[in-house]
Amino acid sequence: MQAARPPTARRSVLLVLAAVVLPALVVSCAAVDSRRSDPTFAVVFGADGVAITDGNWIEKVPMGNPEVVPWSGEAVGLDESTAAVVAVHHIAVVTPHAPAVLADCAECAGIAATDDHIVTTRRNLTPGGGFDIVFFSHDLQEERSVAAQRLEERGTTSFSAENVESPTTLAADADRVTVGYLSRVGGVRAGPSIIAQYDHDGRLLGSVQVDGIIGGGPAVSPDGRLLAVGIGGSGGACVTVLEPALVDLQTLRVQLIEPTLPAAVAVDSSTSDAWFLLTDLIWRESTLLVTGEVHAPPAGEGCDPQPESWQRSYDPATGQVDDLGDLAARALRWVGPDCDHLLAVIGPWESAALVRTTAGPEQQLGRFAWIGLGQPVPASCRPAP
């Protein structure tokens, strides 16, 4: 379940370079996110379907018409050269310059990986809103499917008609699978939602209710301890809130990142309430990088025609938030070797484009609206806060 992603004003991607990188700086490999199973390429999704790219080349993944399941898809790394992708009723294992391995996976949502398995979830239409946790091998052989049930809330198994979508896989390890789904008492515009954990036999281990719908991620920290997701809801065509939150995968404690708006955002009596719309989440070692739009419409207006894009870095150990504003991109990934070698998603949501940025002209790579996997911009490429 993902919140709608409204448009943003397009600016030159050169603003990204001016704001977040130092020109012609060569970055050592030690600066790159060292998480196991982070491929060196990116997985991208959008109106042109699903693709993998390192900026120098781009290869489509034949997963069908993206309009069948619009704006949906997730990816997880298996190793430095391989990723698993779920989208458009398929699951795929992709490696650069090789045919993708594909399998049908009707209504599968979300994806995670353990040392032995690729894990996803799909509804099974049994009474009570049942669903299956599906385990594939890393070479995409379906090894088993385990039936599970949604959390029983308020002593009943009845739930609203809109609560019928497949739960979304958020994380997995050798002992449990973490999924998210709309609460039985929730609505698709504002939630609440449930984050629940199941063992590999489908037994419920624990759950927590969050005040909103779940989207904008997920991203698991390199040590496997923290899950980053977006939590929010829609108040109309121009008001979609999606704020980053951390979930402790051991305790299921949920922590919002506060303040919810960058301190430098100008919100005064001349503006209506402002809100944050998450557009990208990625870990850089132990630091969470959050990219999103700050919407602050003028007083009496419901829409902000030119929301500002910000990147917020959050250190869970200290609680420190550092904010960098006036970005041009909805999402950034580093392709190296220099700091200005980036993939960036720019432009309004409905016509967003993926570009490769260098010191020369921007290279248009296609109509891709978000990046599901890739390398974060190294810390040494960013100016001091």
Residue in the structure block whose two tokens are 């997985």: 43
pLDDT in tens, 156-175: 555 555 567 789 999 999 99
Q: Provide the pLDDT for residue 97.
A: 96
pLDDT-derived band at 152 (thresholds 50, 70, 90) equals confident
**Contact predicate 243/255, CB 8 Å:** no
DSSP per position, 147-177: EE-PPPBTTB----TT--SPPEEEEE-SSEE
pLDDT in tens, 297-356: 877 777 888 888 899 999 999 999 999 887 889 899 998 888 889 999 998 777 889 999
**Contact predicate 42/53, CB 8 Å:** yes
pLDDT-derived band at 220 (thresholds 50, 70, 90) equals very high
Q: Provide the pLDDT for residue 14.
A: 29
Asked whether residue 19 carries a pLDDT value surpassing 50, the answer given is no
Asked whether residue 263 carries a pLDDT value surpassing 90, the answer given is no
pLDDT in tens, 55-77: 889 999 998 766 555 456 899 99
Q: Provide the pLDDT for residue 236.
A: 73
Q: Provide the pLDDT for residue 29.
A: 28
List domains and CATH numbers for the chain: 14-381 (2.130.10)
pLDDT in tens, 2-12: 333 333 332 33
Asked whether residue 1 carries a pLDDT value surpassing 60, the answer given is no
Lowest average pLDDT, out of 110-114, 267-271, 281-285, goes to 267-271
Q: Provide the pLDDT for residue 22.
A: 22
308-315 and 49-53 strand pairing: unpaired
DSSP per position, 231-300: EEEEEETTEEEEEEEEEETTT--EEE-SSSS-TT----TTB---EEEEEEEEEETTEEEEEEEEE-PBTT
- What average pLDDT is seen over the chain? 82
Q: Provide the pLDDT for residue 177.
A: 98
AA identity, residue 372? G
Q: Who wins on pLDDT, 382 or 197?
A: 197
pLDDT in tens, 359-377: 667 889 999 988 999 999 9
Asked whether residue 32 carries a pLDDT value surpassing 50, the answer given is no
Mean pLDDT, residues 8-31 taken together: 29
Most confident of 3-12, 17-26, 39-48, 59-68: 39-48
Q: Provide the pLDDT for residue 191.
A: 77
AA identity, residue 326? D
